[in-house]
Every structure is written in C-alpha cells, then in structure tokens.
Amino acid sequence: METYGKPMPDATLPEIVAHRFADLYDGAPGVLVRAPGRVNLIGEHTDYNDGFVLPLAIERAVWIALRPRDDGAVRLYSLHHQEAREFALGGREREGRAWIEYVKGTAWALGEAGHALRGWEGVVGSDVPIGAGLSSSAALELATARAFAAVSGVDWDPAAMALVCQRAENEWVGMKCGIMDPMISAVGRAGHAVLIDCRTLATGAVPLPPGTRVVVMDTSTRRGLVDSAYNERRRQCEAVAAAFGVPALRDLSAAELEAGAARLDPLLARRARHVVTENERTLAAADAMRAGEAALLGRLMNAGHRSLRDYYEVSSPELDAMVEIAQARPECHGARMTGAGFGGCAVALVDKGDSAEFVERVSARYQEATGKEPRLHVTGATGGAEIVPVPG
C-alpha cells in the first residue's frame, strides 16, 4: 500500500486516513467518506455530445476523514502532497490547478447551487493514480461534495451532486470535461457498469458478464496538451452538429451522417463518424452485457479502439501497443484505450480464471515492446460516493 505518509504496512487506506486524522487533529474523525475513480468500458468522447457512456466505478478511491468546524473554514491535509491547506468558505482566490482547488471549486459550486455549507477539517488520501485517466479529480470532487453534504445536512442526490462537481471542474478548475466522470463516481454500482444517458442523466446498471474481470492497463505514459486536443475535438463535434442543424451529434444516426458526409470537411466527417458509431456501439454493448455475452462486448470494445485510433485520432503508440498485446491473449475478450486518450490507460475484459496470467503476460510483453514499465490491475466494480463507518 502506497500511503504517502507514515509507513503502516498492513493498514488499508481508510485506516491510514483515519489514523492520520487522529495524529493531526487530536481525536477521532466524526465522518469518513469515499468516492471512487472510474474506468470506461465503452462510450468514449460521447458524453459532451449528449451521448451514451458505459463506465464502472473502480476499487480505487479518494477517502476523506473529517470533523465539522464552526468558523466557516476548511482545513485539509493531503497524504499524497504531505501538506495542509486551508481556505475560508465564500472566498474566491484561486491558485491555478493546485489540488486544493478541486476542493475549493466544489465548495464554490455547492454554494452556487444554493447550499449553506459548514466548514470542516480533515485528511484526504487516494489510491487513484493522478493523471492516468482514471478520474482522480472527479473522485476528489465527489468525496469533497459528500463531506460537505454530511456536515452541512445537505440531501444527497447523486446526479445533482455530479452536476455540481462538473461545474466545479468546468468553471473553477477550468477543465471542460463532460458529465461521465462525476456521474459514475456518484452513481457507481457494485458488480455493475452503468449505462448513462448524458443528455437526460438517466442511468441503468448492467452486470459484468459472468466469469469475466476488468483489467485496467496503465501504459505509464502521460501526455501534455491533452486539454487543447480535447477542446479541439469538442469544437469539431459542435461544428458537425451545427452543419446538420441538430443540437448535438447524439441526434444523428450513422446513416444520416454518411448521407451528408460528402459536404463535410473529411477531418470533421471522421470525427463525427467516431461519435455516432460509438453511441451505437455503447447501446449494443449494454445489450450484450444484459445478455451475458462477453465475446460480443469484447468485439465492440475492439471496434471502439479502432474508431478512436483511426477516426478520432486520440490514441498513442503506447496505447495501441498495449491494446494489441492484450487483444492477442486467448483469455481476452476485448481491449481498448479508455478516457480522454493520448496516454494513460487502456481497459480489457478477460476471463476471470486467467486474469493473473493475463496481467503477467501482457505486462512482460508491453515492457519488451516499449521499454516502459506498465501497471496492470484487475478491478471489480464498486458503489458510488458514500459515507462509510470510521475504522476503530
């Protein structure tokens, strides 16, 4: 266990967070909250096109141990950064993208949504890797929202809280991300992926196919300029929707797009082709899961990767290598890059009995092919942001 703090070899992260709280603030925390990271099975770059996504909440999460304060201040110690930061509720000063801004931004967005907040002091710990495309920032925002709701007596409405956290990220932190990451961190369900309609925010839990496991495959690559490439893709999608006179690419079928593709710039046509076919694949993937058809789900994931690589052009040589190596394994049903792209993680669906072998073989082969040391881990699907009992 990486604790970023005092060595406590056999302790779990919630135990470490609670223990550190007692060290720093004298006394036990009154509340412990958890909000998970996520991996997306399919439905990539569709959320900001009002489309469909099919992510699951992973076993890695952000944990905050806390206790209310009555002076309108928030004081938080980060195990990862090994520093404490403090701010007054209602303040507006920002410091770029420092970690505390995700907390401040969430407080700001909760205030904008009309909630009267109480301050608190706490310790935050996370085992969601930062910058890997597993949504560490949405997990921090949701954990923060859960903490504020707990001490301020705010009703916990997961979808409403996801929107608050998205606003924090968009308007306070300045990242124009879609609704997928905060939604799944809020509404995750154990053993299930969640089909999210990003226009209506309707959700439906779909079970992982029996006998399969999800493997998160970190390429150990991180790319700069992801924000600008992401924003450029968003603009390209909006341009195509405008050209067809529809509110979003969600409103265009693959057949309608192809019928009018000749009047589009070829680059824009490729971008839109990814989005409209990805929406169709995502709905088909949810059906395949409901029918327990792992092989079909896997084929849809493979097709999703090709589309992201060739039409949306957000893959990378390392992501392609990881995906090809994974797909070549007999125990793998399907694999694709996941998240925004350019670096970070891929995801695979594998037979449960052979998942350890898969991890070992794919890790070795990837390292051989790229010279980079990957990090693969098998994950189950967990529930969304919640209050949990404080460990004794």
Catalytic residues: 181
CB of 39 to ligand GLA, least distance (A): 10
Please tell me whether residue 339 binds ligand GLA under the rule CB under 6 A: yes
- Binding-residue total with ligand GLA (CB under 6 A): 10
CB of 114 to ligand GLA, least distance (A): 25
CA end-to-end distance (rounded Å), the chain: 19
CB of 2 to ligand GLA, least distance (A): 23
How far is 240 from 224, CA to CA, in rounded Å? 26
- The residue (of 284 and 369) whose beta carbon lies closer to ligand GLA is 284
How far is 17 from 236, CA to CA, in rounded Å? 43
Please tell me whether residue 14 binds ligand GLA under the rule CB under 6 A: no
- The residue (of 41 and 154) whose beta carbon lies closer to ligand GLA is 41
Closest CA to 180 of 319, 46, 355, 291: 46
Please tell me whether residue 177 binds ligand GLA under the rule CB under 6 A: yes
Q: Which amino acid is at 98?
A: A
Please tell me whether residue 386 binds ligand GLA under the rule CB under 6 A: no
- The residue (of 119 and 133) whose beta carbon lies closer to ligand GLA is 133
- The residue (of 3 and 136) whose beta carbon lies closer to ligand GLA is 136
How far is 49 from 257, CA to CA, in rounded Å? 14
Orientation angle between helical segments 100-112 and 136-152, nearest 10 degrees:
50
How far is 168 from 111, CA to CA, in rounded Å? 11
- CA 55: distance to chain centroid? 8
Residue 137, CB-side half-sphere exposure with 13 Å CA sphere: 28
- The residue (of 8 and 284) whose beta carbon lies closer to ligand GLA is 284
Decide if 66 contacts 387 (C-beta within 8 A): no
- The region of 92-100, 104-112, 174-182, 204-212 touching ligand GLA under the rule CB under 6 A is 174-182
- The residue (of 20 and 271) whose beta carbon lies closer to ligand GLA is 271
Site string for ligand GLA, 72-111 (x = CB under 6 A): ----------------------------------------
CB of 12 to ligand GLA, least distance (A): 27
How far is 5 from 15, CA to CA, in rounded Å? 12
Write the DSSP symbol of residue 81. T
- The residue (of 109 and 177) whose beta carbon lies closer to ligand GLA is 177
Count Cβ atoms within 10 A of the Cβ of residue 235 and give its class: 0-12 exposed, 13-18 middle, 19 or more buried: exposed
Please tell me whether residue 305 binds ligand GLA under the rule CB under 6 A: no
Footprint on residues 46-65 left by ligand GLA (CB under 6 A) = 47-48
Orientation angle between helical segments 158-167 and 100-112, nearest 10 degrees:
120
How far is 147 from 298, CA to CA, in rounded Å? 38
Residue 157, CB-side half-sphere exposure with 13 Å CA sphere: 10
Site string for ligand GLA, 178-207 (x = CB under 6 A): x-xx--------------------------
CB of 179 to ligand GLA, least distance (A): 7
CB of 281 to ligand GLA, least distance (A): 13
Q: Which of 44, 218, 351, 386 binds ligand GLA (CB under 6 A)?
A: 44
Footprint on residues 234-293 left by ligand GLA (CB under 6 A) = none
Q: Return the bridge partners of 348, or none.
A: 215, 335
Which chain residues interact with ligand GLA by CB under 6 A?
44-45, 47-48, 177-178, 180-181, 339-340
